[in-house]
Amino acid sequence: MAEKNYNFDLIVSQFLNEGDKMVSVGPFGEGHINDTYAAVIENNGEKRRIIVQRINHSIFTEPAALMDNIYGVTTFLKKIIEANGGDVLRETLTVIPAKDGKLYFVDEGGNYWRSYIFIEGATTYQSIQTKEDFYNCGAAFGNFQRLLADYPADQLSESIPNFHNTEKRFEAFVEAVNKDICGRAKDVQAEIEFAMARKEAACEIVNMLKEGKIPLRVTHNDTKLNNIMIDDATGKAICIIDLDTIMPGAAAYDFGDSIRFGASTGAEDEVDLSKIEMSLELFEVFASGYLSVAKEFLTDEELYSLSIGAKIMTFECGIRFLTDYLSGDTYFKIHRPNHNLDRCRTQFKLVADMEKKMDQMHAIVNKYAK
């Protein structure tokens, strides 16, 4: 992450208690959207860490409403965790309010900052470490959906309207191709053709929602592996983080995004495409974990939508990366030239693979849905 000249003494001090002193602060994690830092705080010889995050306010244009969403959902989850005898400080995020009581702090440059208690003794991974971990992630996301089923959706503001509306995502992609502001379209004709050929198929989940075949639920919408913390001691998926995009959506979005990222045999930005496929074995591991919980509440149509969702979420992510590449890399953080194009290519490779494996994917879901 490019180091920015933020006034961390001032920013971090907003989230400190009496007697706290900041010892150090540095970039943390591998998210594509916000700027995340970990600060070490000392008080009376004891050290602890906090997360301090600059909210990407060109993407999340209403940070105050966003923080109300997160506060509302985490407060709701804490009540359930407490009732179940769980650890309220480790099993969901804890927002640390700023000194003035607000859930964020705005610095002199107009940047919005928030802070969370650092969840110690747990790790977010960029790829699957053990199959058991991935099974546990599936169960955790299933449980997350189950718990949020009782959350009043009307209390959530849409942090990014039309986030998983693939019809609109497709329109934005076509517009980026037509505008071609960087003159890059000529170099990516194969990718553009791949996407153009899948316009109809891309809208299947959106259409199922429109036709009322599947219900709207409160969903996380960004369920990739590095948005879940795995306990170092037990291997259990203890905490789902990155709650920025909690909004009404389809169950298949969350199932699908986990598969997109976690069931791939390579990294999201792998340049050697021969390393990329959607592992049916990993698909089965995740699906069995997820369905061990979610089969209780999913309808038959939703069960059918899960594998389609995996393909569509992967396709959507691919066209989003390609759109960003064509538009000059303004949305996702990139760390090298062509980074978004490399990411797009892995996604399209996965889509092509899932198209071939779709019958087997449906069969696996059916096996664990009983």
- Alpha-carbon gap, residue 59 to 369, rounded angstroms: 37
CB of 124 to ligand ADP, least distance (A): 4
- Alpha-carbon gap, residue 322 to 184, rounded angstroms: 10
Give the residue, chosen from 93, 177, 225, 306, that forms a contact with ligand ADP under the rule CB under 6 A: 93
- Alpha-carbon gap, residue 351 to 234, rounded angstroms: 33
List, in sequence order, every beta strand (DSSP E) within 31-188. Answer: 35-43, 46-55, 95-96, 105-106, 112-117, 122-123
User: In 3D, which of 246, 298, 277 has the Cα closest to residue 348?
Assistant: 277
Q: Does 267 bind ligand GN1 (CB under 6 A)?
A: no
Give the residue, chosen from 22, 156, 241, 341, that forms a contact with ligand ADP under the rule CB under 6 A: 241
Secondary structure tally for the chain: helices H, strands E: 11, 11
Give the residue, chosen from 11, 16, 32, 306, that forms a contact with ligand GN1 under the rule CB under 6 A: 32
Q: Does 119 bind ligand ADP (CB under 6 A)?
A: yes
CB of 36 to ligand ADP, least distance (A): 4
Cβ distance to ligand GN1 smaller for residue 64 or 363: 64
Q: Does 224 bind ligand GN1 (CB under 6 A)?
A: yes
Q: Does 29 bind ligand ADP (CB under 6 A)?
A: yes
Our measurement of the distance from residue 170's CA atom to the centroid of its chain's CA atoms, rounded to an integer in Å, reads 20
SS3 per residue for 36-55: EEEEEEEECCEEEEEEEEEE
User: Binders of ligand ADP among 49-68, rule CB under 6 A?
Assistant: 51
Per partner kind, with CB cut-offs from 5 to 8 A, the member of Mg ion, ligand GN1, ligand ADP, none near residue 268 is ligand GN1
Give the residue, chosen from 69, 111, 115, 124, that forms a contact with ligand ADP under the rule CB under 6 A: 124
- Alpha-carbon gap, residue 323 to 191, rounded angstroms: 11
List interacting residues with ligand ADP (CB under 6 A).
Answer: 28-29, 31-34, 36, 51, 93, 116, 118-119, 124, 226-227, 241-242, 244
List interacting residues with ligand GN1 (CB under 6 A).
Answer: 31-33, 222, 224, 227, 242, 244-245, 268, 317
